[in-house]
Amino acid sequence: MQPTAQERLPTQASRRWALRSIAVIMLSLLLLSAGAAWWFWRTAASPGSAPATLDTPLDVLLGQNRRAQFEAKLAQRRYGSRTWNWQDYVQWGRELVHWAQVKNPPLGPAPSVPLAETYRCIHCHNLVREDVILTQQDPEAREQMLEDNPALAGKKTGVRLMTGTTFWGMVNRERFYNGYYARYHRLKVRDGGQFRPMNPESLADAVQVCCSYCSAGRFPEDWELDSILAYLWTLELRLRDLDLPPPTQLRLLEQLNSSHPDTVAAARQELRKHYLLASAAHAVEPPLRSDDAKDIYPPSVAELERLFPPRSDSSDPPTSKPASKPRPPASLHTNLIHTGDPKRGEWLYKSACAMCHGNEVHPKSGRALAISPGTFHRYVWKGTQRDGLYMPFFTRERLSPRQATDIRAYLRSLPANQTD
Ligand code: HEC
Ligand code: HEC
């Protein structure tokens, strides 16, 4: 028997009703889970916008978010009457660090005017990790690391024994120009149209100091400074970089993701112990007496400012207190009785000296550098400046007396007419 229209209607209505309630239940479930996810995200991710993982930057884990703030500021800035992307700044920064100039700058002539005539940041700074243990800056451990992993030194911008500290993790440091270089804190930096002493806690100030004084160049323009800083942010540290044992990593992640402020604060305190908040720089006294080396770098602050005068009509004169002589740690002199290993010296020379010798920085290389031991060591530990460019000196964190002796032994082993 065929059902009548009246009989069919209620069945269709109830079916529709059932479908509608299923849809309502599903929708509420969806909303509920979205709400739960949101709640979880808000409470669990106290250090940032997402739960912490091994790849979370330390800047975020520490609740500082300085990179995000800087990115937001850059997004507002106008150069050449328009705003630019973060990636534009990073690219310009990369070019400035490698070549001191930018092919297509946001304003001014293209290519841009070089920051310095001869020196590039990469003559004195690595761009990658240079220490096996992040809290130990030891040039011999660095040498060992490179011996164990030759690929690390192999690339064009691989690890070298540089006179300056690495750019890797630079943005995570909290104090710049330390140890012997603390005297640089009296140097002037540009601030708008004025000059003022550098703030040792400002990376931007440290970059200004190194562009003008260390690189024997000029102060960066605002867009250049912004670009270098943006590039340095690409080299920031992440939790993974601290090489903590897996159980510690897990525990820290749990603490950092907790909703208790005290637990998060304790984890942050602990994080800060596993990397350098400041890069050390201890001067080494030349081990041998010598009377023939005359112009010794680094010059006093007054001399530096005379050589690279800040350009402004500010009436504030540069400070010129004589720098006090640093005392080297006594332990350094114990390993100086070392005749030198030319085989090790060859590799060390290529790593520590060759980027500046036998090229546009300084024409002399090889045997020509094997001058008397007194003068040689004096140049290495105090640097030198005669007429042209200066040679930066190596601190205890950058080269060991044993390594310098090996280099000299290698240079002396070369035939007199050989240059490298
Ligand atoms: C001729 C060598 C030389 C050149 C070129 C050079 N630097 Fe430096 N830089 C140094 C030395 C030496 C220090 C002192 C402290 C240290 O690194 O151990 C230093 C320190 C710094 C610091 C502070 C680091 C810290 O943690 O204390 C910054 C930032 C810096 N340089 C940036 C730059 C930038 C950017 C450039 C390129 C525009 C540059 N440097 C070029 C030698 C150089
Ligand atoms: C960042 C660049 C740089 C690095 C790295 C560097 N030098 Fe120099 N060196 C120079 C410059 C520039 C001069 C010339 C300075 C002057 O005007 O007196 C120089 C001069 C010298 C001189 C004096 C040469 C002469 O005219 O008689 C010696 C010796 C020397 N360097 C040895 C070394 C050794 C050894 C190393 C590695 C351990 C080294 N240098 C690393 C830049 C550098």
Q: Give 46-92 pLDDT, tens digit per residue.
A: 444 689 999 999 999 999 999 999 999 999 999 999 999 999 999 99
Output the pTM of the full model: 0.82
CATH 1.10.760 residue ranges for the chain: 301-316+330-413
Query: CA distances (Å), 41 to each of 33, 44, 49, 252, 345, in order?
Result: 12, 5, 8, 18, 55
Burial code of 119-133, b = ≥16 C-beta within 10 A, e = fewer? bbbbbbbbbebbbee
CB-based pocket (< 6 A), ligand 2:
123-124, 163, 352-353, 356-357, 361-362, 364, 369, 371, 376, 379-380, 384-392, 407
- Above 70 in pLDDT, residue 290? no
Amino acid at 169: G
What tens digit of pLDDT does each residue of 114-130 get? 999 999 999 999 999 99
Pocket test for ligand 1, best of 89, 113, 124 (most atoms within 8 A of CB): 124
Q: What is the mean pLDDT of residues 264-293?
A: 80
Stated as kind and residue range, the H or E segment containing 395 is none
Residue nearest to atom 33 of ligand 1 (CA): 210
- The answer, yes or no, to whether residue 238 has pLDDT greater than 50, is yes
| 254 band by pLDDT with thresholds 50, 70 and 90 | very high
To test the pocket of ligand 2, the residue of 142, 355, 356 to mutate (highest count of ligand atoms within 8 Å of its CB) is 356
Looking at the predicted structure, is the pLDDT value of residue 317 above 50?
Answer: no
Tokens in use for 415? 């035939």
* Distance from Cα 256 to the centre of ligand 2, integer Å: 48
Q: What own/partner pairs with CB < 8 Å and gap ≥ 24 does 310-318 have?
A: 310/188, 310/189, 310/190, 310/195, 310/212, 310/219, 311/218, 311/219, 312/190, 312/193, 312/194, 312/195, 314/193, 314/194, 314/195, 316/188, 316/194, 316/195, 316/196, 318/187, 318/188
**CA-wise closest residue to 203 among 173, 227, 182:** 173
Phi/psi at 204 (nearest 5 deg)? -60, -40
Record: fold of 301-316+330-413? Cytochrome Bc1 Complex; Chain D, domain 2 (1.10.760)
Look at residue 319 and tell me whether its pLDDT is greater than 70.
no
> Tell me, what DSSP letter sits at residue 87?
H
What does the pLDDT read at residue 50? 85
Instruction: List ligand 1's pocket residues with C-beta within 6 A.
Output: 97, 115, 119, 121, 123-125, 163-165, 170, 173, 176-178, 181, 203, 206-207, 210-211, 214-215, 228, 279, 281, 392
Do 411 and 366 meet the contact criterion of CB atoms below 8 Å apart? yes
Look over the chain and give the mean of its residue pLDDT values, rounded to a whole number. Answer: 84
